[in-house]
Amino acid sequence: MAIECIRKRCCLAHGRVSMGYIKPGFVVLATLATLFLCIFAYIYDFSLMPVTHPRTWFNIVNQTKLYNAVSGGLSGKINVWNFLTNQQTIGISTTEKKTTASIRTEYIFIHQYVAHPSNYHFILDEPDKCKQDPFLVLMVPVAPHEVNARNAIRSTWGNESSVQGKAVLTLFLVGLTGGAEAQQQLEEESRQHRDLLQSNFVDSYFNLTIKTMVIMDWLATRCSQATFSMKVDSDMYINLENLMSVLLSPNTPRQNYITGYLMWDQYVIRDKNSKWYVSVELYPESKYPTYVLGMGYVFSNDLPPKIVEASEAIKPFNIEDAYVGACLKRLGINPSGAPNPSQFRTYVNDPKSTDLSKLITAIAGSPEKVIEFWQNVKGHK
């Protein structure tokens, strides 16, 4: 290691100084100086040693080059492979040559630390929101800058606080804004609406797994009293009346239950040019277990703590809904088919020719479309 070379040079210099060819006063000063350098080098090297406890790792190295490198890599800002190959960070030195396999293994190791929800904390939080025991909590992952998406939901289905006599709560989860001005605006929005949660992960498409697991962690630690929860994308139309009818049915389980648009026999994409590429190192099996499409899935609220616990043994990868499916598989829980699968729709090409009043979910695609779909249904009542 480069630090080891510094140590050796310090010790060699110390040996030469003590050989008696220089005046005694200079010898003392030089000895003290080189001793200080050796101590500094040792402390600096120790500070870069890996921390083995995942639940305390993030707080300890949040400001190091490692976190910046991995976060930058996950958000697509830097090439993390080049960083791990060419820079010194946690035991990786420019003076050491490592095989591609070992570098990838170390990357997976670091990625696993970064992905676990317990490695993050909330910058904006609403820890008392569930004190009124909501029946259903809708959790919406959304980018910090997408104010229009949040406002569209607030003015439509997110504005419903009671459906069929049951309390409903809608919250938005965002990651880091990336700037002081944007953060200030987000905090003002939070003060105004009291429906924003923010955690300190890099907000990017690649980090949707982190985002989802942070949602699960919030539900597990701050909202365990809810009966059901739903993870729903910010461009979705939701018909809460129809959803509530399903949840209140005596045939709907209240434990180990998750439903939505089911995905069966989905092959893992190995094409490195694909947006959905997942390496063999991150997920070795050729097919994903059955999972529920991430656009909107509803689940009994006993699942979040179980999923978080299962995730400690599941290597994280960047397909968030399939990752939740992998956690469920480890728990021995199979997603349930909806009583009427046609109610969970993906895209609706022409809302005028589709009876939106009979659906539960549909991808609207934009804030304007969310409002249009909502008005379409309300206008037919």
pLDDT in tens, 295-334: 999 999 999 999 999 999 999 999 999 999 999 999 999 9
The CATH classification number of 122-379 equals 3.90.550
Mean pLDDT score, 103-121: 57
pLDDT in tens, 48-95: 333 333 332 233 333 333 344 344 444 334 333 333 333 333 333 333
pLDDT in tens, 251-294: 999 999 999 999 999 999 999 999 999 999 999 999 999 999 99
Q: What pLDDT shows up at residue 24?
A: 55
Mean pLDDT score, 157-174: 98
Give yes or no for residue 108 having a pLDDT over 50.
no
Which three-class secondary structure string do you get for the chain?
A: CHHHHHHHHHHHHHHHHCCCCCCHHHHHHHHHHHHHHHHHHHHHHHHCCCCCCHHHHHHHHCCCHHHHHHHHHHCCCCCHHHHHHHCCECCECCCCCCCHHHHHHHHHHHHHHHHCHHHCCEEECCCCHHHHCCCEEEEEECCCCCHHHHHHHHCCHHHCCEECCEEEEEEEEEEECCCHHHHHHHHHHHHHHCCEEEEEEECCHHHHHHHHHHHHHHHHHHCCCCCEEEEECCCEEECHHHHHHHHCCCCCCCCCCEEECEECCCECCCCCCCCCCCCCCCCCCCECCCEECCCEEEEECCHHHHHHHHHCCCCCCCCHHHHHHHHHHHHCCCCEECCCHHHEEEECCCHHHCCHHHCCEEECCCHHHHHHHHHHHHHCC
Domain locations in the chain? Answer: 2-47, 54-115, 122-379
